Chain A
Amino acid sequence: MQGQLGEESELNAVFLYMGILDAYEAVGVELIGPDVLEEHVLPRMTYYVREFLPEIFSERADSEELTTELRRFLTEFRARVEDAREKGVAGAMTMEEIWELRAAIFGFESVFINILGDSAIKNYVLIRMADILSAYLPESLLDPQIPLKTKLESYAKYIQDNKFVGFARVSFGDDEISVAANRCEFSRIHDSEAYRNLDVRFCPWGMIASAIVAAHEGKETNLESSLFTTKGSVSKIKAK
């Protein structure tokens, strides 16, 4: 769990996570206000890191301190991504840090559910997210010459080869694409208390896939649903 991710995958993984975070923040600022992070997300993030990783974070009794630490982590993480962008390599990222990021993403998701409601998420937030996130995809996934199927398959292979998930699969239906990920490193989150109203929770692997579709098709893409299982998810994507 606490191990380091493989060297080559790091940079891409960091960008993708940063992309999800940036997309959430951009949409959050746009719809809720400039202090969305400070007022709404950080308190939830503090709660979630404790819930997800009790063995590390529950010992820190003082919430204030933990919040400060998480705030600093997010700022430093952004600086690190900037740095990595220039140098072309990311500093080592631990699983613990990825968990902190996952908690931040989860925090945003919860804020949107509580403040904006379900339909805003489905009809607006996710479409905007896919759009913003597509700017973070690696070059190889942006080339318009490469067929969408190849791109999605290489994405599935990528997250599987890098052991983010034990198995990933993409399949094409008549008018929708389904992305399955099983035995996910982060599936411990599925045990969270917050994983109750699952109609508006979405798997990040599905989000990234929908960004790939959005970037390829050059039009709005809707992440319809994520069906969560104990250790995985199946997400359905529709191009509008």
Chain B
Amino acid sequence: MQNSWMFLGIESLIVAVLLLGWYFGARRLNFNIHHLVVYTVILAHALVVFFWMIPTAQEISNWVFSNPIGNLRLVLHFGIGMVADILSIALAVLFIFRRDMPLSILRRARPVMITTLTLWVIAYGLGVVNLLLRYL
């Protein structure tokens, strides 16, 4: 439980940095900031997923999936979060290969980035609600 609050703090920081990176990086076309933020955030978040979210999910999965409708918030958090993670990693990999960021690719990647950011924030919101309801 102690860990939960610590990881909540880390994830909150990650989301805050991601949003700042969007505002000061992407919207202002300051790609140094944008790139630094997304790559750092993806890595930091991967560590949290690996060391905390996956172990926790293993612990509670039997109980959650025995009643998926009753535990809809958890299932949604898990599903939406996974989609956001997969998209973010796909974007990161795509742009490692296309450092020149051609317009033809940006045009298709931009809606994906906006979707990723939105899903990320939604998954985070659900995660916070789940934790609060579980422990408070």
Q: Is the CB of A180 within 8 A of B103?
A: no
Q: Which 8 A-B pairs have the closest CB atoms?
A: A180-B29, A228-B103, A182-B29, A230-B110, A234-B29, A232-B29, A229-B106, A230-B107
Distance in angstroms between the alpha carbons of A232 and B27 in the assembled complex: 10
In chain A, what residue has the closest Cβ to B108? A230
The distance in angstroms between the C-alpha atoms of A198 and B107, with both chains bound, is 14
Does B102 sit at the interface, judged by CB under 8 A?
A: yes
Q: What's the tally of chain A residues with a CB closer than 8 Å to chain B?
A: 17
Q: Hey, what's the 0/1 contact readout for B98-123 against A, CB within 8 Å counting as 1?
A: 00011100110010000000000000
A227→B30 contact, CB < 8 A: no
A contact residues around B102 at 8 Å (CB): 198
Chain B interface (Cβ < 8 Å from any Cβ of A) = 27-31, 101-103, 106-107, 110
| Minimal beta-carbon separation of A58 from chain B (angstroms) | 22
Q: Tell whether, in the assembled complex, residue A180 and residue B28 are in contact, meaning their CB atoms are under 8 Å apart.
A: yes
Q: Tell me, in angstroms, the Cα distance from A180 to B29 when the chains sit together.
A: 6
Q: Knowing that A171-B30, A198-B102, A234-B29 touch, tell me 16 more A-B residue pairs with CB under 8 angstroms.
A: A167-B28, A167-B29, A169-B30, A180-B30, A190-B107, A227-B101, A228-B103, A228-B106, A229-B29, A229-B101, A229-B103, A229-B106, A230-B103, A232-B29, A233-B29, A234-B31
Cβ of A195 < 8 Å from any Cβ of B? Answer: yes
* Residues from chain A with Cβ under 8 Å of B106 in the complex: 228-230
- In-complex Cβ contact of A169 among B28, B103, B107, B110 (8 A): B28
Q: How far is the CA of A182 from the CA of B22 in the complex (A)?
A: 13
B28 touches A182 (CB 8 A): yes
List which A159-195 residues lie within 8 A (CB) of chain B. 167, 169, 171, 180-182, 190-191, 195
Q: In the complex the two chains form, what is the Cα distance from A10 to B27 in whole Å?
A: 27
Within 8 A of B (CB), among A217-240: 227-230, 232-234
Q: Distance (Å) between the CB of B98 and the closest chain A CB?
A: 12
The chain A residue with its CB closest to the CB of B110 is A230
B36 to chain A, nearest CB (A): 15
Determine the chain A residues whose CB is within 8 A of the CB of B103 once the complex forms. 190, 195, 198, 228-230
- How far does the Cβ of B96 sit from chain A's closest Cβ, in whole Å? 17
Partner of A167, one of B27, B101, B107: B27
Q: How far is the CA of A190 from the CA of B102 in the complex (A)?
A: 12
List the A residue with the shortest CB-CB distance to B109.
Answer: A230
Closest residue of A by beta carbon distance from B107: A230
Question: Residue on B with the closest CB to A195?
Answer: B103
Taking CB atoms, residues of chain B closer than 8 Å to A191 are 107
Most chain B CB inside 10 Å of its own CB: which residue of A181, A228, A229: A229
Give the distance to chain A from B16, nearest Cβ to Cβ, in Å: 21
Chain A residue at minimal CB-CB distance from B29? A180
User: Can you pick out 17 interface pairs between chain A and chain B where the beta carbons lie within 8 Å of each other?
Assistant: A167-B29, A169-B28, A180-B30, A182-B27, A190-B103, A195-B103, A228-B103, A229-B29, A229-B101, A229-B103, A229-B106, A229-B110, A230-B103, A230-B106, A230-B107, A234-B29, A234-B31
